[in-house]
């Protein structure tokens, strides 16, 4: 049996489920999967149907597109209207609704907006087109931030002055601290993000166990990975323990990826950041260091826009784990992946899109 086959094996899944049932939970356990990739995997593989009725899985603020505020989209659209500017972006971001429409709408109206799979592609375009200013829309967590930082390092080292980054990059620990410290949040355990942890390591999340007394497990994205993490958290809770357990050892180490961290430290620094659903959180974002301001798109002035979310959208409540996507009155009606009203219905990692695409009541 190949390693991947084992992680999806019905026999192994039954063994893990037996482990979970043997724990003997006597009260409901609310476990939040922080990463949008985990949310998508849970619904794709139908894991929510397998779990004990006393285990409830909640979605968290782990989808980069979802937590990017509408004001960022509005600002990007305003930049796209300036002469000589080319925007470069990951595809999902183009469909996120802003106050005056989406970047996709702006593109259809004539704005020069490229869809890129990496920031390096955007830099290459800037090198090939020195007559324009290419602005890469930099969103994402540590997993993406390190690649954008590496691209910035290359632009700086080769003195490519017509390349800039508009940063909405975010870091996970401070946001989780804010979320879990809120009296409105009721969470008994966390499935920590696997991709982010490959960069950061597990150490930055230790405070969740030591200070907030909440059990955690870093998980991979296969069914056995996620179910083992649930079992580990449940066992910790029943034993009265709170630890950060690494259940994704094939990819994650305690101290993470030092090369990726070094690239970020060279050109980026912590800053306050606005998260959809969570508000403005100190030291939860990454901005370009002042000495490299020539590569910072924030230096380009645009007319102010009064940003507004759609009044019926409850993405913020979904990202806090306060409601299930189906509790939003727009879900599956006014808001679908083809016609998203909120960001959580746009990305494949968004909780609303995951439920719509894979839940039996809504799958095509």
Give the range of the structural domain holding residue 53, as residue numbers without chain letter: 3-62+173-246
Q: How far apart are CA 179 and CA 69, in angstroms?
A: 17
pLDDT tens profile 239-260: 999 999 999 999 999 999 999 9
Specify if 318 maps to a domain.
no
Element (H, E) at 108: helix 103-108
By percentage, how much of the chain surpasses pLDDT 90? 87
Query: Measured at the alpha carbon of residue 357, what is the angle toward residues 339 and 317, in degrees to the nearest 5?
Result: 70
Per DSSP, 312 falls in state T
pLDDT, mean of residues 53-63: 91
Per DSSP, 53 falls in state T
Specify if 347 maps to a domain.
no
Specify if 93 maps to a domain.
no
The closest alpha carbon to 231, from 55, 4, 349, belongs to: 55
Write down the pLDDT at residue 363: 42
pLDDT tens profile 290-333: 999 999 999 898 887 888 888 899 999 999 999 999 999 999 99
Query: Measured at the alpha carbon of residue 164, what is the angle toward residues 163 and 166, in degrees to the nearest 5?
Result: 155
Specify if 151 maps to a domain.
no
Tell the burial category of 48 from Cβ atoms under 10 Å away from its Cβ (0-12, 13-18, 19+): middle
Specify if 13 maps to a domain.
yes
Specify if 186 maps to a domain.
yes
108 band by pLDDT with thresholds 50, 70 and 90: very high
pLDDT tens profile 156-179: 999 999 999 999 999 999 999 999
**Range list of H helices, 96-251:** 103-108, 119-128, 142-157, 172-181, 194-200, 206-210, 223-239
Specify if 137 maps to a domain.
no
In total, how many domains does the chain have? 1
CATH number for the domain harbouring residue 45: 3.40.50.11750
Specify if 79 maps to a domain.
no
Structural contact between residues 269 and 149, judged by C-beta atoms closer than 8 angstroms: no
pLDDT tens profile 74-89: 999 999 999 999 999 9
């Amino acid at each position: 049996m190949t390693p991947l086959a084992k992680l999806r094996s019905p026999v192994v899944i039954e063994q893990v489920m037996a482990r979970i049932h043997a724990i003997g939970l006597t009260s409901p356990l609310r476990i939040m999967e922080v990463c949008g990739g985990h949310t998508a995997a849970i619904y794709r593989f139908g894991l929510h149907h397998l779990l004990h009725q006393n285990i409830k899985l909640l979605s968290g603020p782990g989808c980069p597109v979802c937590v990017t505020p509408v004001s960022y989209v509005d600002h990007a659209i305003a930049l796209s209207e300036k002469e000589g500017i080319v925007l470069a972006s990951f595809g999902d971001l183009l469909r996120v609704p802003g106050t005056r429409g989406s970047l996709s709408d702006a593109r259809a109206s004539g704005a020069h907006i490229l869809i890129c799979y990496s920031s390096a592609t955007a830099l290459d375009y800037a090198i090939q087109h020195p007559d324009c200013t290419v602005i890469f829309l930099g969103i994402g967590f540590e997993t993406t931030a390190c690649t954008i930082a590496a691209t910035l390092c290359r632009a700086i080292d080769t003195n490519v002055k017509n390349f800039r980054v508009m940063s909405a990059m975010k870091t996970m620990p401070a946001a989780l601290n804010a979320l879990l410290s809120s009296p409105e949040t009721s969470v008994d355990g966390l499935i920590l993000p696997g991709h982010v942890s490959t960069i950061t390591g597990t150490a930055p999340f230790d405070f969740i166990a030591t200070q907030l007394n909440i059990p955690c497990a870093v998980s991979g994205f296969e069914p056995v990975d996620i179910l083992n993490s649930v079992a580990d958290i449940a066992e910790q809770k029943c034993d009265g323990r709170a630890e950060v357990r690494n259940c994704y050892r094939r990819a994650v180490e305690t101290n993470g990826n030092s090369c990726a961290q070094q690239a970020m430290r060279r050109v980026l620094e912590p800053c306050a950041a606005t998260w959809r659903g969570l508000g403005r959180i100190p030291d939860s974002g990454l901005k370009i260091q002042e000495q490299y301001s020539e590569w910072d798109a924030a230096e380009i002035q645009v007319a102010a826009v009064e940003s507004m979310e759609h009044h019926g959208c409850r993405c913020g409540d979904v990202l806090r784990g306060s409601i299930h996507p189906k509790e939003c009155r727009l879900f599956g009606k006014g808001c679908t992946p083809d016609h998203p009203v909120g960001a959580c219905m746009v990305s494949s990692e968004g909780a609303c899109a995951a439920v719509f695409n894979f839940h039996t009541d809504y799958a095509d």
